[in-house]
Amino acid sequence: MRAALRLRLRVIAALIMVVAFLLIARLYFVQIVDGEEYSLRAERQYVSASRTIYDRGSIYFTRKDGTQLSGAALGTGFLVAIDPSKLKKPDEVYATLSTHFELEEEEFDAAVAKINDPYEVLARRVPEDAGRAISDLEIPGVIIERERWRIYPAEDRAAQTVGFVAYDNDNDLAGRFGLERYYEDVLSRSNTGLFGNFFAELFANLDDAVGDANHARSGNLVTAIEPVVLEKLDQVLMNVQTKYGSAETGGIIMNPKTGEIIALQTVPSFDPNVFAKEDSDYFGNPLVESRYEFGSIVKALTMASGIDAGVITANTTYNDTGTITLNSKTISNFDGKARGVVPMQEVLSQSLNTGVSFIAGKLGHERFRGYFEKLGMGAETGIDLPSEIPGTIDNILKSPRDVEYATASFGQGIAQTPVEMIKALGALANDGKVVTPHIVRSIRLESGITKDLSWGNPEEVYSPEAVEEVTRMLVNVVDHSLAGGNVAIPEMSVAAKTGTAQISAPSGGYYDDRYFHSFFGYFPAYEPKFIILLYTREPGGVRYASETLTDPFMELTSFLISYYAIPPDRVEYAESEE
């Protein structure tokens, strides 16, 4: 009997504890997690019962110290409308309203004339102070409603990456480009209530602390984009674009160890806050939606492939005759000049097409193609951005001829997206392993729980020994060849390479006067923190990437070294610091 009584008491106590937990959780959710949301809904004097307040998750940029700044959020204000049938003394109403927000008299008169329409909108996005002031006047026939809308504080910076919200074909507001579109299921909010999500998130799959974007629930996006670095990148790209009148200029700064992209931008861009007034040609993201022939920066990958396969070493020499003929096609160095017998270092230092063609021949078709495929060329990267297209390496997939492999070895005849290119080049800065480039670090669920995203494991393409040797060669390029060695940083080892490619013509062949310039580099060279890829399309008045992108790259490098307080890695400078 006593045992049965104790059991009942324990059951009752457990039920009381469960109810108490539910009440505490409810109170926490109402007052803390969704306090602002309920506060807005409680303003019944402002909000029409037939209308719901727009809601959507935020997108955050992350500063180097971990603090988060808004990249996409909700602006709050009021909508002002009238019911013409209830309006008294329209002239006085117009005079009053126009003192609080901009209102054209002709538009007001047209709205007043629609006497059978009980709801004519006069203005949207009216600021808080103005909306409350109008509401306090209690003007008959004037309707004040709470309103929220999407705002983008960074304006045109990373606009193609963030995207924007607009009406879709079903007349619903939804993400249309960038992260807004890719993470629509995460950012969108249903009107079924706020409280239910808490328990769904609390009890479902909490054993999985790390998930992926496809299984995340509603929440806010926390990106790796560093706003100060993004602003600097935008400034540098704009300077290049303006100076050379390029058709397009872009850049990506990535952590090669993790694949986190801390800044990316293309110009021209657009302001998503006023996208209806902007040129829609710029809404798409060239970093994932356009492919280019990158030219000589690919030589670093060809060199790494040859060293890793053991068909060459850094000390291997070849006889450079200035030109070679393969399958009745002539391949020349950029200046057509012969260098005689030279080592592999000069292939990178002088950017010799005949040198990497020599390596391609040593590798053979199957091995050469295999390396480029393992680097991810010709495939989507898996980055968390919509509309990504794969690059193309069809020339070396479908052709049995040597000439296609030779031209591919110096980045012509194959084309990659900028994100695909930095993914491949990132192997040189990550012990030979490729990672998945990505923007979002984690999703902060509506409950406050943070869910980190997983982006797969790095895949090894080259041995660490092979990429260390190529890194040494690329450091030599910066220290002695790039701008005659005048841009080298004495206290910091930097590995880098330029690329200049002719632009293909729609009718076949290449333009004689149009070029695509690229530049990549990473630092500190032997323990990289960042890898940078820059490009500019059709710059005017210059032929070589060393002229257009060397200074911008070094400016960004010096900025990142200072901003992140990266210590010197040259032995003599590191010792002096101690």
- Asked if residue 71 has pLDDT above 50, the reply is yes
Q: What is the pLDDT of residues 1-29, one digit of tens each?
A: 566 666 666 667 667 776 666 556 555 55
Q: 518 with 501: CB under 8 angstroms?
A: yes
Assess whether the previous peptide bond of 418 is cis (omega < 30° from 0): no
Taking the alpha carbons at both ends of the chain, their separation in whole angstroms is 78
- Asked if residue 42 has pLDDT above 60, the reply is no
- Asked if residue 50 has pLDDT above 50, the reply is no
Smallest CA-to-CA distance from 125 within 108, 149, 142, 103 is with: 149
- pLDDT on residue 218: 84
Q: 95 with 168: CB under 8 angstroms?
A: no
- Asked if residue 36 has pLDDT above 90, the reply is no
Structure tokens at 354: 């005949």
Q: What's the pTM value of the predicted model, to 2 decimals?
A: 0.87
User: For residues 348 and 355, what is the distance between their CA atoms, to the nearest angstrom?
Assistant: 9
- pLDDT on residue 561: 98
* Residue with more model confidence, 71 or 15: 71
In total, the chain counts a number of residues equal to: 578
Assess whether the previous peptide bond of 524 is cis (omega < 30° from 0): yes
Local confidence band at 53 (pLDDT 50, 70, 90 cut-offs): confident
In degrees and rounded to multiples of 5, residue 144 shows phi and psi of -115, 125
CA dihedral 7, 13, 15, 21 (to 10 degrees): -150
Smallest CA-to-CA distance from 350 within 440, 410, 435, 269 is with: 410
Burial of 21 (C-beta count, 10 Å sphere; 0-12/13-18/19+): exposed
Q: 199 with 70: CB under 8 angstroms?
A: no
Local confidence band at 506 (pLDDT 50, 70, 90 cut-offs): confident
* Residue 42: partners with Cβ closer than 8 Å, 6 or more residues away: none
- pLDDT on residue 16: 74
Q: What is the pLDDT of residues 430-445, one digit of tens each?
A: 999 999 999 999 999 9
Query: How wide is the angle at C-alpha 205 spanned by C-alphas 202 and 208, nearest 5°?
Result: 115
* Residue 175: partners with Cβ closer than 8 Å, 6 or more residues away: 163, 164, 165, 181, 182, 183, 184, 187, 188
Q: What is the pLDDT of residues 456-483, one digit of tens each?
A: 999 999 999 999 999 999 999 999 999 9
User: For residues 24 and 195, what is the distance between their CA atoms, to the nearest angstrom?
Assistant: 12
- pLDDT on residue 201: 45
Mean local confidence (pLDDT), 510-524:
95
Local confidence band at 448 (pLDDT 50, 70, 90 cut-offs): confident
Looking at every residue in the chain, the average pLDDT score rounds to 89
- Asked if residue 196 has pLDDT above 70, the reply is no
Assess whether the previous peptide bond of 268 is cis (omega < 30° from 0): yes
Distance set, CA 408 to CA 349, 393, 432 (Å): 19, 8, 20
Least confident of 21-30, 110-119, 368-377: 21-30
Local confidence band at 193 (pLDDT 50, 70, 90 cut-offs): very low
Mean local confidence (pLDDT), 90-108:
95
Mean local confidence (pLDDT), 492-519:
93
Domains and CATH numbers, the chain: 46-54+74-153 (3.90.1310.10), 287-577 (3.40.710.10)
- pLDDT on residue 5: 63
User: For residues 254 and 224, what is the distance between their CA atoms, to the nearest angstrom?
Assistant: 9
Local confidence band at 170 (pLDDT 50, 70, 90 cut-offs): confident
Mean local confidence (pLDDT), 105-129:
94
Smallest CA-to-CA distance from 131 within 45, 213, 216 is with: 45
Local confidence band at 45 (pLDDT 50, 70, 90 cut-offs): very low
Mean local confidence (pLDDT), 363-386:
97
Share of the chain above pLDDT 70, in %: 86
Local confidence band at 573 (pLDDT 50, 70, 90 cut-offs): low
Query: How wide is the angle at C-alpha 381 spanned by C-alphas 379 and 384, nearest 5°?
Result: 140
